Amino acid sequence: MDVHPSIGSSLWHSLRGESNRSTSGRDHDDEKTRHKSFDLLLSGAIAGATAKTAIAPMDRLKILFQTNPVLAFNRGNVSNLAREIYGRAGVRAFWKGHTATLVRVIPYSATNFFVFERTRHFLDDTSSLRQSPVLLRFVSGAVSGSVAVIVTYPLETLRARLAADLLSQYDRGYIQAIRNIIRVDGLRSLYSGLRPTLVGIVPYAGTSFAVYETLKTENATFGQRLLIGAVAGFVAQAATYPLDVVRRRMQVRPNEYTSVLSTFKKIATREGVVRGFYKGLSMNLIKGPIAVSISLTCNDHLKRYFSNI
């Protein structure tokens, strides 16, 4: 790949929305760039928050199955677990930890969409990837997803702990929950599962963006974009789900699941390859495409709305 020699510096300026402009008109361009950057960040933040709020109940059920090696995933157990959650604390219990989710999702989604747009434009201007639009979109999505994960990962760990907590260990507030996690498991536990997350986010984010941006057309309706987003989410979820299971185990039980390889071995030995690594997949293939569809479509329409005003 023929990349610009000053790729590091150029990408940094691209992420900031800068280019090699002449001094004339630079202030005006910078003002427009700042507005556009804010619009990208705001669109991504709202899109991510909307999507996660919609699928939060399914997300909590999925995490409970992923992190419990004994509980088999089937329709009866899903129903029983849902009733147990409801019986303990009512409907609001399905959104337990959702504030922590939003605290993570808002900067994650804003960063993800913002970096994707900047990286895509940068690569289109400076590399031979412009000759392969699908690959360009895949690489841009992989980069943006990786950056967003690294920035927000401790919040993702907190969210997983809260969602998997049936014994109310973390009910005294998010700050206290973080303190308890650090006190019991150490500071590094906030980054438990980061490696499989980064390995998984490359194909997941790359595939999501590549499929969606390739299939959509400029004149696609809102409903068509939702459907295209659902297809993108379905493909991405199915391809990367085992790594998601490994990540959850390492987040919630860092003392038992200490490395990616050992976690793979333990799950395969104790639960079997299919039942262990694909536990809860059917639920994820429902909620995942819904979340990706809502997120990508909302982001698209919000960008267009902000650009028009």
Q: Is residue 14 part of a domain?
A: no
Q: Which residues contact 5 (CB under 8 A, 6 or more apart)?
A: none
What pLDDT score was predicted for residue 34? 66
Domain of 249, CATH number, reads 1.50.40.10
SS3 of residue 42 by DSSP? helix
Q: Is residue 218 part of a domain?
A: yes
Q: Is residue 25 part of a domain?
A: no
What pLDDT score was predicted for residue 129? 85
Q: Is residue 22 part of a domain?
A: no
Q: Is residue 17 part of a domain?
A: no
Given a cut of 90, whether residue 137 has pLDDT beyond it is yes
Q: Is residue 159 part of a domain?
A: yes
- Would you tell me how many other CB atoms lie within 10 Å of the CB of residue 53? 15
Given a cut of 70, whether residue 179 has pLDDT beyond it is yes
Domain count, the chain: 1
42 or 88, which is more confident = 42
Distances, alpha carbon 158 to alpha carbons 9, 55, 101, 131, 190, in Å:
34, 18, 9, 42, 8
Q: Is residue 220 part of a domain?
A: yes
Q: pTM of the full predicted structure?
A: 0.71
Residues 246, 262: Cα–Cα separation, whole Å: 10
Residues 230, 294: Cα–Cα separation, whole Å: 8
Domain region containing 235:
39-308
Q: Is residue 12 part of a domain?
A: no
Dump pLDDT digits (tens) for 6-62: 445 555 555 555 545 544 455 555 556 666 888 999 999 999 999 999 898 888 888
